Structure 1
Amino acid sequence: MKLGLVPYLNALPLHAYLELPFVLLPPSTLEKKIFAGEIDLALLPTLSYLKHKNLIPLFELGLIQSMGPVESVMVSYPQKLGHPSNIKSIKFTSESITSIALFKVIYRFYWDQPLEELQLTHSPHAAYLEIGDKAFNLPRQDRVVIDLGQVWSEWTGLPFIYAFWVARTPPSKDILQKIIEARKKGMQNLDLLCREQKILPSAQALHYLTKCMRYEMVETSLEAINLFQKYCFELGLIRL
């Protein structure tokens, strides 16, 4: 069985001790690979699952979730615009699936702006959405940087789930157990993992993985997924 995860710091505790072969790919590529049948089990973007519910959700294996600031799903825009509702053009990262949808949901339903007037651009001077490790420590000179995880949680009072394990066919108990054990060992060894990784200073990495990330379901996780699904449906991003 072929496994896939994202190549970002937030997934490190899930695969650092995984005793199974796997590949690390951006969310947008993972979506293509699993639907092409090239990957069987993946830490897939939430929106990808909502678009193709023939996949098997495996929440018990772990997920990428935040409650409040996530620090790795960020929008940067020119300071002169003032409030983010004044954004009229934006550049989206090609790696993202769910975070682009999250921005659209917030833009339409929280900031109450028509999506029809939002233009896509490649200008480096416009607003842009960045995810993963590239979103850490974005330049702030003459710009405002907002955290979409924080915006969502302040608006809804709920966590946001960016990705979770799904499978094309039921995995064996042995594979499931190895993924669960890898996550447990990763969480038990966060200090070591943070010292060894090269993406952030170790203290900042530890803060990110312990204060921003949550890897197990909480009481309101499904409620959050269902609310996100409702908004995505209203925007025409998915079909029910």
Structure 2
Amino acid sequence: MACHPGRSHGYRVRYCGRLPRSFGMADLEVTERIRVGKVSFINTLPIFHPLESGAVQHDFDIIDGTPAVLNALLASDQLDLGVVSSIEYARHFDKYLLLPDLSISCKNEVCSVLLLSRVPLQKLEAQEILLTPKSHTSIALLKLLFARRFTVTPRYRVTDYHACGSRWPAGAQEDLAIGDDALQLRQNPEVAMALELGAAWHEWTGHPFVFAVWALRRETLAQRDGLVHQAHATLLAAKEYGLGHLEEIAAAVDQCSWFSRQECVQYLQTIEYDLDADKQKGLRLFFDMLYEMGELSQRVPLNFLETGGQK
């Protein structure tokens, strides 16, 4: 794991692999700065690019990782707040608060949470689907869709493969891919069926789907109330700037030779970054369905950081 000084607006730590068994508090130094978790996918750039480019000033330690890694870091008090899988909040809602007006959500096709298959959906009965370990919410949504919406019962296996460009994972017939992996794999000519999970949810329920939320440790609020509210205001300012400068952000995505600037803008425009009343209804419905399936041990309330404004 590399930790190096950033610009005057804070420090940044990058950790994109699996957490080693010995990973503990000593690995990430606790500082007075708020430690903010950033999912290392293109879809978080409308908030993080303004922060990391200096367009919006901040005093955070920004820590990169996959959704699953950030889930673990927040749970183990190695982050103060950050982007985490929505189901991670559901599993630990007694420890977390939601940051108002922030999420990663969609109403229709978002192209980066996909079930990709070499065969049509109707032929997936008893077939093995490879599940990415990078996201917990996407796995829960996929299982929910097959259990409650589709009359198909596949088998599942979580596997720590890493997509390489648009090449199909070795030995896979069906594959759940998220984030940048999905954006590349969808171009594979072997794909016979691409099920966009967010669109499938919206078509089924009429509500947007909230893939990720911004969660805050309650302990952090108790210890650093002022810094927390300042951090929330900074994130909202970054979101406002980022959504108004998508062309600038797309131009900065220079590592993606497989993704043109225009495609990047169009992709980011399919994502919604607020957490309005309709998204909250969709999130509650998702949690309720998981509870009814036995995937959650109790019903989950949506508890927000109190800001004095509309939640």
Residues 127 and 229 of structure 1, relative CA distance in 2, 3 Å threshold: same
Aligned to 1:178: 234
Partners of 1:121 and 1:73 in 2: CA distance: 16
- Higher normalized contact order (CA 8 Å, seq sep 6+, divided by chain length): 1
- Contact 1:65–1:163, Cα closer than 8 Å, also in 2: yes
Distance 1:82-1:38 versus aligned 2 partners, 3 A rule: closer
Q: How many residues align?
A: 235
Give the gaps of 5 or more residues in structure 2. 1-33, 52-57, 160-169, 299-311
Q: Deviations over 1:72-124 (max 9, x none)?
A: 00011122x5526536311101111100001001010000345xx62427663
Q: Does 1:235 align with 2:293?
A: yes
Stretches of structure 1 that go unaligned for 5 or more consecutive residues are none
Distance 2:84 2:107 in 1: 19
Closer/same/farther in 2, CA of residues 148 and 3 from structure 1, 3 Å limit: same
Q: Matched residues, percent identical?
A: 23
What are the within-5 Å matches in structure 2 for residues 5-24 of structure 1? 5-18=38-51, 19=58, 20-24=60-64
The CA distance in 1 between the partners of 2:206 and 2:123, in whole Å, is 20
SS in 2 for 1:21: strand
2:264 counterpart (192, 205, 214):
205
TM-score, L = length of structure 1:
0.91
**Aligned with residue 71 of structure 1, among 93, 102, 111:** 111
* Match 1:134 to one of 175, 181, 184: 181
RMSD: 1.8
Of 146, 162, 179, which aligns to 2:195? 146
Q: Which residue of 1 aligns with 2:282?
A: 224
The CA distance in 2 between the partners of 1:193 and 1:94, in whole Å, is 28
Which of 41, 57, 75 is the equivalent residue of 1:35?
A: 75
Larger C-alpha radius of gyration, 1 or 2?
2
Letter in 1 for 2:42: L
CA distance in 2, matches of 1:52, 1:98: 14
- Taking a change above 3 Å as real, the CA distance of residues 87 and 215 of structure 1, as seen in their structure-2 partners, is farther
Structure 1 CA distance for aligned equivalents of residues 125 and 131 of structure 2: 17
Match of 2:251 in 1: 195
- The answer to whether the 8 A contact 1:90-1:119 is kept is yes
Q: Residues 85, 229 of structure 1: CA spacing in aligned structure 2 closer, same or farther, 3 A cutoff? A: farther
